[in-house]
Structure 1
Amino acid sequence: MHEPWKWAQKAGVKLDYPQPIVDHKEARLRTLAAYEEARKGA
């Protein structure tokens, strides 16, 4: 439901909207690392 492009690829269906621009899992990890560095005062 939250990742329809994965379903479409598996089912062989071409969806008429663009692929996601942001990898939220990766962005979250980068943000948490940046917050941790800021908290340490680096």
Structure 2
Amino acid sequence: RRIPVGIEALRRKLSLKGEGAGVLIIARLQGRSRALVCERE
């Protein structure tokens, strides 16, 4: 994993509300870290 992210620390920072499930995709694009927050259907 080349992105230095603490998963639990990131989860606390997001201030998530509710009980629904989601997916967080973190990737390096063009030399920068990017994140997508997705909801499953």
**Structure 1 length normalisation: TM-score?**
0.27
**Larger Rg, first or second structure (1 or 2):** 1
Normalised to the residue count of structure 2, the TM-score between the two structures is 0.28
